[in-house]
Amino acid sequence: MILVQAEKIAKCVEQGWWGHQTLWDLFEIQRRERPDAEAVVDAFNRKDFMDGAPRRLSWVQLGLEVDCFCRLLIDEGLERDDVVLVQLPNCVEQHVVYLACARLGLIITPVPVQYREHELSQIMRTSGARSVVTCARIGRGANAHRAAAFFDEWLRLAHPGTRLLAWGPDLPAGLRDIGPALAVPLSPGDLARVEQRAADAGVTANDVFSLCWTSGTEAAPKAVPRSHNEWLALLPGVVEVAELRPHIRILNPFPMINMAGLATAFCTALRLGATIVQHHPFNLEVFLQQIRDEAIDYTVAPPAVLNMLLQNEALLSGIDFKRLRRIGSGSAPLSEWMVSTFAERYGVQIINYFGSNEGASLGGGALDMPDPRQRALYFPRAGAARRGVQTRLVDLDTERDITAPGLAGELRYDGPTVFSGYFNAPELTAKAFDAQGFYKSGDLFEIAGDQGQFYRYVGRSKDLVIRGGVNISSEEIEGLLQACPGVKEVAVIGVPCETLGERVCACVAPAPGHVITLEVLTDYLRSQRIAVYKLPEHLM
């Protein structure tokens, strides 16, 4: 496992950016001080995407399930620093798994529910996961049966000791049913065993908590390790920028698999003692009903959704905007009209976020940028610095710093939020940082504002398609399609989309005598068992 460098730890602790509390420590505070307050709530339409009735757990109830899940993990033979692959929709159970792993020093590697054999085999190979946690059904897919079939074949060949655990009915042979294991009350001896194992693990805030997966220009996904401290260092960029108060209610529509879901929902809730109301998959009608029914104080939504709501304002009827005063957005440019209209008509400040799993993070809120129109276009340069993050704008041709407005360059980051390197990938890690130790984001910005006080996003230097805020590697899809019968040459690009930002487009030169259609390409890619969201939707 990649360890956080001792020099970085010393600097971040000395500057006060990092502390000694782990994510589990924060949970213990909430369980002790607010035992009966709601901690996590399932979406009311849970039965549409997962077995079991929707549940609402208080902090003490959540803690009891975590205790029992810790017992199960110990019984399954998992040890400190073992990797646990988690493929679950947004649900109460995610919190149980993540907290148990944080307590015992296990490392979660959460993956999108859309991932199939193609992606999972890459992740299993890279991470060496010792356990897989999933559920019987995700949407209409018999997820546990598919997982059992895949993992049975994969694990017999590569990782025969890996344990398969799942929630839900009618599980196939080879999967441990989590439900009955958690239903058995914890005896005093069990609790003592769990507490002793946690004490023996001796988890510190500088230990790695997660491996999250990100796509770059490379064909295979890259694993980003993040410690407890690296996660918690992101929170000022969420809590302070959005002016979030303790004990609020947060509606979380983003998958809890990367920065958007883990930082905004999971980690923020532990810090603030907030209630997380889960949402999955994104359904506008359900989303708006949850805002009305659950007394939501804060949520996040893609720019296209916020634009649509203002174009159909009847959809906003019944929402209490005296509570919902802040909404986060990002992953695509914001409309000046949208940000200013929400502020003027409803008193709602739209928070502009920009970030990556590697810890590159910018945020524009009403405190730093009271002018909504400016907030739609720019990010404050000083805001990141106040949170310990240093940035450089670099000319890619000369590697010199850009200090004058209007010149595009790559924005690079250093500081307490930035990761230490990709897991088991020293060559990729070396290419990810410059000679001064700054992470090379691949995102192009320019200095803007009458005093040079802002950054403005202008594009990307990396070959990516960003569909609905998710990075898709053009190289990965090109590599697969190059083997498709009848394809002579192929390039994959992003085409603009008002709803998702971009969609995948395949530009194909067919081999002589062949006719290539979009259906031919997608059928071939489906046979390679890739995630559906990566399929081309346009052909040129």
Model confidence pLDDT, tens digit, residues 121-135: 889 889 999 999 999
CB contact at 8 A, 278 and 91 = yes
Instruction: Please give the Cα distance from 102 to 415 (Å, whole number).
Output: 23
What contacts 262, CB < 8 A, 6 or more positions away? 110, 210, 212, 231, 256
- Of the chain, the percentage scoring pLDDT greater than 90 comes to 67
Instruction: Please give the Cα distance from 495 to 333 (Å, whole number).
Output: 15
Which is nearest to 239 in space by CA: 361, 340, 139? 361
CB contact at 8 A, 328 and 349 = no
Q: How many CA atoms lie within 13 A of 364 on its CB side?
A: 26
pLDDT of 31 over the 90 cut: yes
pLDDT of 196 over the 50 cut: yes
Coil, helix or strand at residue 237: helix
As to burial, measured by CB atoms within 10 angstroms (0-12 exposed, 13-18 middle, 19+ buried), residue 101 is: buried
Element housing 271 (H / E): helix 268-272
What values do phi and psi take at 229, rounded to 5?
Answer: -65, -40
pLDDT of 158 over the 80 cut: no
Q: Which spans in 76-142 are helix H?
A: 92-104, 117-127
pLDDT of 1 over the 50 cut: no
**In the prediction, which pLDDT does 153 show?**
62
DSSP string, 34-53: -TTSEEEE--TTGGGTSSS-
Average pLDDT over residues 56-76: 98
Neighbouring CB atoms inside 10 A of 200's CB total 11
Q: What residue has token string 């510190």?
A: 204
Q: How many helices and strands (H and E) does the chain possess?
A: 20, 25
pLDDT band at 498 (very low <50, low <70, confident <90, very high): confident
Instruction: Please give the Cα distance from 257 to 210 (Å, whole number).
Output: 9
Q: Is the pTM of this model over 0.85?
A: yes
> How far apart, in Å, do the first and last CA atoms of the chain sit?
43
Instruction: Please give the Cα distance from 260 to 453 (Å, whole number).
Output: 26
As to burial, measured by CB atoms within 10 angstroms (0-12 exposed, 13-18 middle, 19+ buried), residue 522 is: middle
**What rounded mean pLDDT belongs to the chain?**
90
- Of the chain, the percentage scoring pLDDT greater than 70 comes to 94
Is the pLDDT higher at 257 or at 458?
257
**In the prediction, which pLDDT does 146 show?**
64
**In the prediction, which pLDDT does 148 show?**
58
